Amino acid sequence: MSDINDLYQELILDHNKRPRNCRRIDGAARMAEGYNPLCGDRVTVFVEVEGDVVKDVSFEGSGCAISTASASLMSESLKGKTISEAECLLRKFHGLVTGKTNENGEGPTLGKLEAFSGVGRFPARVKCATLVWHTFNAALQQKNETVSTE
């Protein structure tokens, strides 16, 4: 098990050091801001949707390693998914980090996102991991409000 934990930790560290899709999409039709006052994480998520497919996802912001890695891995995972697949992944990810469910069930698999399975042991870190997902959801729903974890 420790090998797997090391692998997961490495993945998170790598995505924190070299975040993927960390850029703004100028003129993105859908965007939202998120803030986690508990940790100080701030993130803006940009989403491009074509038909019912998430064509592009990117983010900007500053936060701790967990929130940055979560944003990076989320952007990779959601690109090319349909909106319903994206919503399914959101639910699965939330279940994973809150420890409510660890089954993959139907729909898209968590894949690399399972790296966050250990986060549930650190309740304060759960919000760091989920902030960007809630923010993505707000962008998708085109809610023009800042998402706060509090």
* Closest separation in Å from C-beta 89 to Zn ion: 21
Q: Which is nearer to Zn ion, 31 or 126 (CB)?
A: 126
* Closest separation in Å from C-beta 126 to Zn ion: 10
Q: Which is nearer to Zn ion, 28 or 39 (CB)?
A: 39
* Closest separation in Å from C-beta 36 to Zn ion: 6
Contacts of 86 (CB under 8 A, 6+ apart): 54, 78, 136, 140
* Distance (Å, whole) CA 35 – CA 89: 21
Q: Which is nearer to Zn ion, 39 or 53 (CB)?
A: 39
Q: Which is nearer to Zn ion, 89 or 128 (CB)?
A: 128
Q: Which is nearer to Zn ion, 33 or 41 (CB)?
A: 41
Footprint of Zn ion on this chain (CB under 5 A)? 39, 41, 64, 67, 128
* Closest separation in Å from C-beta 129 to Zn ion: 8
* Distance (Å, whole) CA 95 – CA 97: 6
User: Which H or E run contains 87?
Assistant: helix 83-98
* Closest separation in Å from C-beta 150 to Zn ion: 13
Q: What's the token pair of residue 141?
A: 């729903």
For residue 24, give the nearest of 45, 41, 42 by alpha carbon: 45
| Residue 100 DSSP symbol | S
Give one word for 103, left, alpha or beta, with left for phi > 0 and alpha for psi -120 to 50.
beta
